[in-house]
A and B are shown apart, each in its own frame.
Chain A
Amino acid sequence: AQKITQTQPGMFVQEKEAVTLDCTYDTSDPSYGLFWYKQPSSGEMIFLIYQGSYDQQNATEGRYSLNFQKARKSANLVISASQLGDSAMYFCAMRADAGNMLTFGGGTRLMVKP
């Protein structure tokens, strides 16, 4: 069974600063994928970034990067130069290679201060 843990229920960050959202995972599958989704107050789930377990480099998508530390089983999301529109819930999710379903963490609420 897979498990995703997000230990930060809520975080504040000053506008224009960088912030790291933590995610640790547990799986016995050698091949898996890690995803981050953003859920603004409007409720939709927006895909941000993906990291495969065999990817040699950390994934980046614009201001988002994923700090993947396989030995520590962590996949932290780094948002650079925070903007007010980044205020939202952020979910880490994992797909084990044996299946196609996503297992989600409990989420982190990020609040960006002007």
Chain B
Amino acid sequence: NAGVTQTPKFQVLKTGQSMTLQCAQDMNHNSMYWYRQDPGMGLRLIYYSASEGTTDKGEVPNGYNVSRLNKREFSLRLESAAPSQTSVYFCAGNRGHGETQYFGPGTRLLVL
């Protein structure tokens, strides 16, 4: 089992460029999440998908969109990147409400 995987591991963008961060899991998770971690801080929830076909905003959704492509995959899109979106992005999943969330290795994004 690969667990929760994320691609790419590292990305540099120029302001205004767009990109999609990919997340996939083979742990049969029903729910999936996208968090961001800024330097010296804890993680903050961007968007989540409680189940296939549903998505909801988290604490910091502005500037992002998500797609729950199927049960395994949950992508995060930046339509027009800004320097304030420089961060480490983590994808996580769990089987459902109340269950422990397991995290992917993270994607380091630098927006110049």
Contacts and interface: CB of A to CB of B under 8 A. Distances in A.
A107 to B, nearest CB: 6
Most buried by B among A33, A46, A97, A102: A102
A105 B88 CA distance: 16
Interface residues of B, number: 27
Contact of B41 (A37, A45, A107): A107
Interface in A35-91: 35, 37, 43-47, 50, 91
B98 A104 contact: no
Contacts of A106: 40-42
B43 A102 contact: yes
B44 A44 contact: no
B110 interface: no
Interface stretch (B15-23, B65-73, B75-83, B101-109): B101-109
Interface residues of A, number: 21
A105 B92 CA distance: 17
Given A47-B102, A50-B100, A4 B58 contact: no
B42 A47 contact: no
B98 A101 contact: no
Interface of B: 31, 33, 40-45, 48, 50, 58-59, 88, 90, 92, 94, 96-98, 100-106, 108
A101 B58 contact: yes
B90 A45 contact: yes
B101 A102 contact: yes
A100 interface: yes
B106 A100 contact: no
Given A33-B98, A43-B88, A101 B45 contact: yes
Given A101-B45, A104-B42, A44 B103 contact: yes
Contact of B43 (A44, A50, A95, A104): A104
